[in-house]
Every structure is written in structure tokens, then in C-alpha cells.
Chains A and B, each alone.
Chain A
Amino acid sequence: MNLVEVKNLYVTFGEHTVLDDISFTIERGDIVAVIGPNGAGKTVLIKTLLGILKPASGDIVFKKGLKTGYAPQKLEFDRNFPMTVEEFMLMQSHDRIIFPSKEGKQKISTLLDEVGVADLGLKKIGDLSGGQLQRVLIAASLAGDPDIVYLDEPSAGVDIGGEQTIYHLIDNLHKTRGLTLVLVSHDIDFVYRASNKVLCLNKRKLCFGVPEVALTAEVMNKVFLEMATPYHHKDHEET
């Protein structure tokens, strides 16, 4: 069953086309990995699917009553603002912050436990490490009992050891909750191991399908050579 169907999607910023004629479908139970070089439009695609950005043209059809969760790549907020993890989770699950319901508090403690940060409820959200914050964001994305969750670079700001733990957690959540997941990832090992669909993006759609089939040598070259292109610093320019 299709949860999301994207047809001929174009997104523009002024005169710049950021997404150029993108079409694909997401089915229930999919783990769709979105890969591509920096500036390929991965985050723009996620934000457009979430309704944060408006497409210039094209259609996005959602299954009726689809509930969505989202963990952003970077959470822009005042890190000195006094808000605890528990308050953040209550806010995201539409429970009361001042007089939270018993069920609401219980649910939050279960969610935090599920992502392995059960002891962080009373900690200020600005005091969390990169890995802890990612886990809390993943827990918050589950607060509304979503059918589909979008995770934008869930391993951003996490050290190398922690990265594997985050991907292991995502894999686990998919298996235990049967969630449909769309995640931006640069971890090719995870893409092969855990995702059942891969969308290669570089403004245009370069591939879409089962990783073993879609990621041909030609596509890999197009996507990953561009990802690996060294930064050309102006100090090193020949004069």
C-alpha cells in the first residue's frame, strides 16, 4: 500500500531549481534511504514532504490520515533556554507541560527508555551531547504514534562509535514497531544492510529502488565521486 506518492516534484528557490522532476513512492514498511552529495536537495526533499517547504509544481499524495514524525538534522534552538527533555517530549506529544497526564508521563518515559536515554528526562535539552540529542529527537518523532518517520542525517553530530549505535537503534525501531522510515544517510553500509529502497539524489533523481539493483557502478560513480570531490581551496589555486 502506498503511503506517499511523489509525482514530478519541482522545488525552486528564486531562480534556482533545487529539486528537478522527482517521482517515487513509499510503501508501508519501507526503509527509504536518501543519499546524495552536499547540496543535492536531500533536506529540501524531506522538508517538502513534511509540508515545511512548498513545491513549485508536482504532486505529493499522502494516504488518508497518515501520521508523520520528524527528527531534523540540526535542531536550531537557544541551548541556554531552560527546558528539560521531559518538557520537550511533553510539548511534542501535545500533553500539558504544567499538569501533565499520568499516561503522558508514562509514555514519555517508555519512549526515552526505547531509545536508551531513560535517565535524561530531567536534564536540560541544551546540555545534551550530540548522540543524546539525536536519541531524544528520535524519541520525540515517535511521540505522536506516527505511521511514517523522517530522519534527516540521524547520525549528524555523533561520534563514529555512536553512529553505529544510532543506526542499530533505527533498525530496531523498524523491526519492533513496523515503522515506515525515510532517512537521509551517508552510511553506505547501513543503506545496503537495512534499507529496502534507496533514492539517489543530485537535484535530479539518479536512482530509485532496491539498493543492490539501483546502486549500479555508474550511479555509484555519479553520486559518490561527487561526494568525494575534494574541496578546492582558493589558496591552492594556481596563479
Chain B
Amino acid sequence: MAEATHHEDGHHSNTVRLLRRDITVEGGVYTVVFGILAILTIIEVLSAELLKGAIHDMPEAAVLLGAAKAVILLVIAIIKAGLVIWFYMHLRDENRILAVVLLLPMLIATLSILYLLAIPPGGYSV
């Protein structure tokens, strides 16, 4: 019953509290999250284009700018993915075991990626 009440208030309410302000919009939190996803996507594309231009203009700082670009864009992408998983896939309401189900293969995949990245481009020469 508490869950149902929470559903009534949390998922079905059209009013969302964001940055200490109540926002009323059809779709409530789902619409607000979509707006945030759209804004983050625009920021992401603009950042990529701006940094690409900066790398072109300042080749001496290409490595640093390239690394900054990768970090900024990946952080934004992870935030976007997290918003979809947390709100649209309802992980915030689910048993935490589902978070483990999701994070465990991610951890294994990340470790595998780091291992593969450590292999030199031409492979190991004997």
C-alpha cells in the first residue's frame, strides 16, 4: 500500500520539486527527466564540437584537450544513462539486487576493457 501511495505521489503526480521549486508539468518527473536529457545532449554535442575546434586550433595542446573532451563527454553520457536507468527503468523503486545485477557485468566489462587497452597496438612481440 505504501508502494501504491508512493506510486501515486512519485510517478503519477504532475508536480516535481526541482532546485527548490515546484514544477507542474504533464508527465511530472518523466517529462522533467526528458527535458534534462535533451539539454544534456545539446551540451554534449556543443562541447564536442567546441573542443574539436580547440584541438584543431591548438595542436600543441591536443593530447590534453582530447583527454578533457573524452572525460567531459563520458561524464555527461554516464549521467544521461543513469537518469534513464534510475527514473525510466524505475531502479529507484526496485530492490537493490537489481542494481547489483546491472553493475556486476559493467564491472567485469570495465576490467576487461582496461586489460585489453593495456595490450600494445601491434600485440606482444616475442
**Are A and B part of the same complex?**
no
Residues of B at the A interface (CB closer than 8 Å) are none
